[in-house]
Structure 1
């Protein structure tokens, strides 16, 4: 704790007030609808290009064909089971990796000694590509679920770790001094001032980690498996089912959008007190 307060008490230039965004005449609902305008337009252009023959069905099937394929796989019970398997792997890896990343980030953020002991090793592991780890993961875990969850957890750990450290180190030292003057204990100071002050950065790390989780899962599901969206794509490749491959890509995109929407809702709820986020809500 002494390392943190010593670091935060160093003088820093005052930050200028954040620019307030212009209000949109249509309100929040209008902005939400507008955000889907470009994706829907691209889908319509894609459908038109496929129908007039500009796109070969073997290269890029029409959205309507992809939708028919999705409905057929749902009817067979295959799509939902594969989606459920992928969601469980991603959720388990996110909880494990996110928890470990937050704990490590908190320890390193509070202590320069912990940073000297841990940060270098964490950064070295972060630089290793997932594909380079696959042979070792197979040796460690075989082809069971443990290896897939491990890769997802490893990918999630680093964004949350880095953003947690950054958030703690950027807490306003004047707030730390105010808490000490008012007689707050160390634990209360951390719980009431430091962690809330670091929360915007931590939640930004959560948003990034959600995207990384799905990237890691795609690689993880290339291991020998018989379930999951990644397996569905690999199986479709063997039979040149372009419609199924495109369907899996669309599913990953939709899951990514849904995950980001959940993270944004969490930000709005947990950071309602923050002036920057309050300005967005009232704009």
Structure 2
């Protein structure tokens, strides 16, 4: 009995290996980086130590500069994603559901999709100037196409047998969409959103280094002018953390919204 209790207690406090492994390589890299800096193998003018970057982050947080610029970047990224993702989903839904709309719009959308959206920066600056709308528009353009292409293919890839079965049960078009088409397309739509999140941060980095006066990208660009390597590395780390957090949020939504798939597999 005592053995059973001790084993259960041990299981309660033990950390699963799959929770540790994702952090193993980053921890090893940071430790090797710090040791190399401490031993003088890495010059601080080329690559400051993790502790120096951390100290710089604490200083900028205490002064309010980092939180202020971080909030600006989050605002631009969120609004751009909502606009671009919303348009991409709407176009993907319309073209996926209607053959007429697909023939009318899809070819033109695919043509514009193959234009690198960052190449539009000079044009966007000429049209919208260097204010917030230009940066948000650039993020929206970058995030629109991943959501569009995955929504479109998700809807077009719905199993025809499921649609036939729904029609045999005399489901209305609305019921067909919400009970069969949308749930079947949802996994691919979520993949598109997850990919769009990566494009969102990549686009924002570039947008905030061009004629900006706020944001994390502006901080990095400004620090580069003054050869402030600690702040440059800090901004890169902040972008990496933001990207990881947004990816974890997307994965959480996937696990919640696609829970029915796991339930179906376990029953099978």
Task: State the TM-score, normalized to the length of structure 2.
Answer: 0.91
Aligned twin of 1:188 = 175
Whether 1:84 and 2:71 are equivalent positions in the alignment is: yes
Aligned twin of 1:6 = none
Instruction: Return the offset for 1:127.
Output: 1.9
Whether 1:144 and 2:131 are equivalent positions in the alignment is: yes
Aligned twin of 1:105 = 92
Aligned twin of 1:16 = none
Given that 1:272 and 1:278 are in contact with CA atoms closer than 8 Å, whether structure 2 keeps it comes out as no
Q: Which of 122, 138, 153 pairs up with 2:140?
A: 153
CA distance in 1, matches of 2:23, 2:155: 35
Question: Structure 1 regions of 5+ residues with no counterpart?
Answer: 1-25
Instruction: Return the offset for 1:193.
Output: 0.4
Whether 1:242 and 2:229 are equivalent positions in the alignment is: yes
Instruction: Return the offset for 1:222.
Output: 2.2
Structure scoring higher RCO (CA < 8 A, sep ≥ 6) equals: 1
Given that 1:225 and 1:231 are in contact with CA atoms closer than 8 Å, whether structure 2 keeps it comes out as yes
Aligned twin of 1:75 = 62
CA distance in 1, matches of 2:217, 2:48: 19
Q: Which of 108, 120, 128 pairs up with 2:115?
A: 128
Q: Which of 155, 166, 169 pairs up with 1:168?
A: 155
CA distance in 2, matches of 1:128, 1:276: 41
Is the deviation greater in 270-279 or in 72-81? 270-279
Superposed CA offset, 1:74-97 (max 9, x none): 111100000000000000000000
Instruction: Return the offset for 1:254.
Output: 0.4
Instruction: Return the offset for 1:223.
Output: 2.6
Given that 2:118 and 2:138 are in contact with CA atoms closer than 8 Å, whether structure 1 keeps it comes out as no
Change (3 A) 1:100 1:277: farther
Whether 1:216 and 2:181 are equivalent positions in the alignment is: no
Change (3 A) 1:185 1:87: same
Aligned twin of 2:254 = 267
Please give the secondary structure, in 2, of the residue aligned with 1:224: coil
CA distance in 1, matches of 2:160, 2:179: 14
Instruction: Return the offset for 1:65.
Output: 0.6
Whether 1:56 and 2:43 are equivalent positions in the alignment is: yes
Instruction: Return the offset for 1:130.
Output: 3.3
Question: Structure 2 regions of 5+ residues with no counterpart?
Answer: 1-12
CA distance in 1, matches of 2:112, 2:46: 38
CA distance in 2, matches of 1:259, 1:29: 23
Please give the secondary structure, in 1, of the residue aligned with 2:260: coil
Corresponding residue pairs, total: 255
CA distance in 1, matches of 2:158, 2:243: 30
Change (3 A) 1:269 1:157: same
